[in-house]
Amino acid sequence: MPSIARSFDNESLPKDKSIAEYERVRAQTMRLTEALSAEDMMLQSMPDASPAKWHLAHTTWFFETFLLQPHLAGYRTYNNAYQYLFNSYYETVGERHPRPQRGLLSRPPLEEVVNYRKHVDDAMKVLLESYSAEIEAAVTIG
């Protein structure tokens, strides 16, 4: 299986390939959670390990915060509350929900997190159409 962490190299991945690679990685993340119920995805095994549902939203928050908001003209944030709920350790970006309490978040429900991912993924495809070296590092990290 190809590595999820494979680099988005602007020279070797033209726009159509960068979109395909983005979609592949995002789909792989969802495949990893297929066997889990919404309830399973809320569980937090320890204070330093985030629940699966929170992780799905956090990675989406990353793309929204560091790529879409600053680089896609006209992009509208999906839900302003997510800027707090799904921020992780980016204290320079703003306050965050305490890590040990992420397993206590029953809302938004999993279906809403999936809708959030779709909203951001659709916008990321538009952004990746104009893929540039300026966004390459952030796309790779995300």
pLDDT in tens, 66-107: 999 999 999 999 999 999 999 987 888 899 999 999 999 999
Q: What is the pTM of this model?
A: 0.86
Residue-wise pLDDT tens for the chain (142 aa)? 333 344 444 444 566 678 999 999 999 999 999 999 999 999 999 999 999 999 999 999 999 999 999 999 999 999 999 999 999 878 888 999 999 999 999 999 999 999 999 999 999 999 999 877 788 888 888 8
Q: Are 27 and 53 in contact (CB under 8 A)?
A: no
CA distances to 23, 27, 131, 132 from 55, in Å: 17, 14, 25, 27
